[in-house]
């Protein structure tokens, strides 16, 4: 039986502003205990002034070596977060509501990562899509999901983007840098001193100094700039004595996916695929269902046998070719005559990435940890409960096998603080799919609700 402790979550968060990475912990918090913003939302004029301060007038004296057309902007804060997916958004709000000044840099024009309108993957977690009744992650993530259900009952993806933007732009302790890519870090004595981010849309370079940093990029973009150790691929079964691991280690990962949406237009909608679309047949779909057409298919997956970062353009092409081929089969094979009035109304252009690097912390979560075989963690700060959900690296290219192998986890499990910071840096936290886990444990912790 997993035991849960309730401890004041502010102890841990206040440690950020004190420059300490190991103070306190909590596992669950009653909704009434969640702090609201430290102050009233900023006025419209205050928001405008804050945004204007991020793009000062071009000044020749504020140029950066090798970047003659970019303006250098210096920022100083308590907590810098790289990555504005769900992990980064929740980290920013949690810190800001506890009086910590936050700068968050997101490389896209919207927040949410794989949950945004650009990818459109729904958030799943410990409730296992309703299979484990009574369990939800709660906290800020649940707050956002409930508010979206009330404010956006028709589930428009772009309004979900807007809700996340509103939450951060209305938080007086958060400075939001959209379309800004982190690309460098300066480290001295195991401490990150400052980082660099760039926004080519505004022609600004941001030099950011913080007390604490968090890598919520998914790809460990900040961690690799600091020299922090990371892992890629899967471990051998013998390394952590994990029955679900393969016998030998390897670089293969879970692949990426591109989703689409479609609807009934009430009149015939013809479809002609581009010449580069794959030719998909019923045999390709023997383990894949195309009964529902509204939301696309997570099993349109490819890239696990490639580098999911550096080969992203090839992965995008292959995924789009599969999407076009699957839709061609639905529309034109004759096997689905009811699709005559259906047409695609959106196709993703950004591969939804499942796996790349994982930062190594003071503890690597393993299969036995998630199964509760190693006892409780005294530094537990979060829970998970999604099953072990592994996908073959070959993805859609191998129609001979099912697109996933799912192994249920009997009870929700704890995640320790030691898996949420780098063992190599004194002030680098990690959150999201890039936390410190084995590949087997990652197949559960990777989902956005965890």
Instruction: Express each pLDDT in 263-299 by its tens digit.
Output: 999 999 999 999 999 999 999 999 999 999 999 999 9
CA 148, 152, 155, 161 torsion: positive or negative? negative
Match 């379309």 to its residue by tokens. 179
Q: What is the mean pLDDT of the chain?
A: 91
Cα(209)–Cα(103) distance, integer angstroms: 10
40-68 pLDDT tens trace: 899 999 999 999 888 888 777 777 788 88
Average pLDDT score over residue span 167-190: 98
User: Which CATH number fits the domain 9-233+357-389+407-445, given the four candidates 3.50.50.60, 3.40.50.1100, 3.40.630.30, 3.40.980.10?
Assistant: 3.50.50.60
Q: Look up residue 42 and give its DSSP letter.
A: P
Spatial neighbors of 428 by CB under 8 A, at least 6 apart, are 192, 213, 214, 215, 222, 223, 226, 228, 359, 421, 422
C-beta separation of 211 from 78 below 8 A:
yes
Q: What is the pLDDT of residue 359?
A: 99
Chain-centroid distance of CA 255 in Å reads 15
When pLDDT is cut at 50, 70 and 90, the band that residue 375 belongs to is confident
Q: Domain-by-domain residue ranges, the chain?
A: 9-233+357-389+407-445, 256-347
Burial of 336 (0-12, 13-18, 19+ CB in 10 A): middle
Tokens of 144: 């956002």
Tokens of 191: 């401490």
Q: Which of 33-47, 313-327, 372-386, 411-425 comes out lowest in average pLDDT?
A: 33-47
pTM, 2 dp: 0.90
Average pLDDT score over residue span 193-207: 97
58-112 pLDDT tens trace: 777 777 788 888 999 999 999 999 999 999 999 999 999 999 999 999 999 999 9
Between 347 and 134, the more confident residue is 347
When pLDDT is cut at 50, 70 and 90, the band that residue 39 belongs to is low
C-beta separation of 102 from 81 below 8 A:
yes
DSSP string, 270-299: -----TTS----GGGGTT---S--SS--TT
Residues above pLDDT 70, as percent of the chain: 91
């Amino acid at each position: 039986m997993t035991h849960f402790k309730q401890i004041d979550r502010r102890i841990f968060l206040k440690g950020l502003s004190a420059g300490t990475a190991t103070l306190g912990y909590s596992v669950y918090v009653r909704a009434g205990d969640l702090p609201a913003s430290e102050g009233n939302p900023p006025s419209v004029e205050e928001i405008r002034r804050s945004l204007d301060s991020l793009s000062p007038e071009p000044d020749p004296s504020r140029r950066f070596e090798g970047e003659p057309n970019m303006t250098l902007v210096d920022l100083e804060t308590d907590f810098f977060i790289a990555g504005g997916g769900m992990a980064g958004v929740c980290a920013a709000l949690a810190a800001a509501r506890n009086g910590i000044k936050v700068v968050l840099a997101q490389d896209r024009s919207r927040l949410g990562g794989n949950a945004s309108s650009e990818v459109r993957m729904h958030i799943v977690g410990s409730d296992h899509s309703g299979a484990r009744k009574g369990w939800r992650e709660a906290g800020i993530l649940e707050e956002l999901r409930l508010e979206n259900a009330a404010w956006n009952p028709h589930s428009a993806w772009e309004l979900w983007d807007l809700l996340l933007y509103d939450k951060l732009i209305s938080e007086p302790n958060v400075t939001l840098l959209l379309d800004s890519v982190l690309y460098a870090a300066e480290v001295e004595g195991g401490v990150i001193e400052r980082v660099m981010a760039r926004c080519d849309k505004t022609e600004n370079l941001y030099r950011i100094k913080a007390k604490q940093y968090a890598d919520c990029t998914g790809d460990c973009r900040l961690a690799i700039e600091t020299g922090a150790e990371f892992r890629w691929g899967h471990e051998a079964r013998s390394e952590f004595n994990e029955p679900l691991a393969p016998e030998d280690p390897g670089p293969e990962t879970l692949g990426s996916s591109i989703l689409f949406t479609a609807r009934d237009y009430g009149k015939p909608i013809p479809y002609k695929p581009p010449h580069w679309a794959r030719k998909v047949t019923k045999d390709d779909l023997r383990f894949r269902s195309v009964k529902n057409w509204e939301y696309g298919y997570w099993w349109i997956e490819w890239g696990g046998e490639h580098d999911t970062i550096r080969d992203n353009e090839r992965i995008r092409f292959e995924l789009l070719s599969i999407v076009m081929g699957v839709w061609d089969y639905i529309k034109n094979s004759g096997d689905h005559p009811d699709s005559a009035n259906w047409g695609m109304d959106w196709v993703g252009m950004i591969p939804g990435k499942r796996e790349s690097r994982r930062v190594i912390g003071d503890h690597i979560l393993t299969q036995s940890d998630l199964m509760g075989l190693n006892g409780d963690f005294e530094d537990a700060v979060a829970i998970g409960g999604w099953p072990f959900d592994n996908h073959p690296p070959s993805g859609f290219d191998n129609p001979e096998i099912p697109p996933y192998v799912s192994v249920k986890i009997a009870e929700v499990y704890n995640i320790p603080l030691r898996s949420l910071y780098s063992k190599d840096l004194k002030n680098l936290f990690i959150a999201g799919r890039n936390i410190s886990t084995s590949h087997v444990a990652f197949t559960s912790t990777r989902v956005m609700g965890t």
